[in-house]
Amino acid sequence: MADDLVDLRQRLAAVLPGRVDAALAGYEDFTGSVPPSDAKGFAAWHAAAKAALAHMEVLVKLARWAEGRPEMVREDDGVERMLAQARAALDGLDDDDDAEEAEE
């Protein structure tokens, strides 16, 4: 069992950095598009952006595990900072959407 985990860590350590880069590029492309103006389309767009962030977060955690690094969140970690900024931006969109719905 221990050997299997060592092998898994090595395989993941080799593959995950590229997967994180690809997920980040996809997220940037997606969120660079203009969200739909209708409420249903915007909600779907917003949910997809949140799902992409969650996917990247899991990939980063797996990459840290594969490298044998602790799960500590470091303030100087660029990926963690980017994920936090993206979450804050999406939360701001939620607040804007709620305010627009209240006005209608």
Taking residue 40's Cβ as centre, other Cβ atoms within 10 Å add up to 8
Residue 73 reports pLDDT greater than 50: no
Taking a C-beta distance cutoff of 8 angstroms, is the pair 52, 27 a contact?
Answer: yes
DSSP conformational letter for 71: -
Q: How many domains does the chain have?
A: 1
Dist. CA 44–CA 34, nearest whole Å: 13
Quickly state the pLDDT bin for 21 (edges 50, 70, 90).
very high
Dist. CA 52–CA 2, nearest whole Å: 32
Quickly state the pLDDT bin for 97 (edges 50, 70, 90).
low
What residue numbers bound the domain in which 32 lies?
Answer: 2-103
Enter the tokens of residue 34: 């203009």
pLDDT in tens, 77-92: 666 776 777 777 788 8
pLDDT in tens, 2-18: 678 888 889 999 999 99
Dist. CA 58–CA 65, nearest whole Å: 11
Q: What is the pTM of this model?
A: 0.63
Give the best-scoring range by mean pLDDT among 10-14, 39-43, 53-57, 58-62. Answer: 39-43
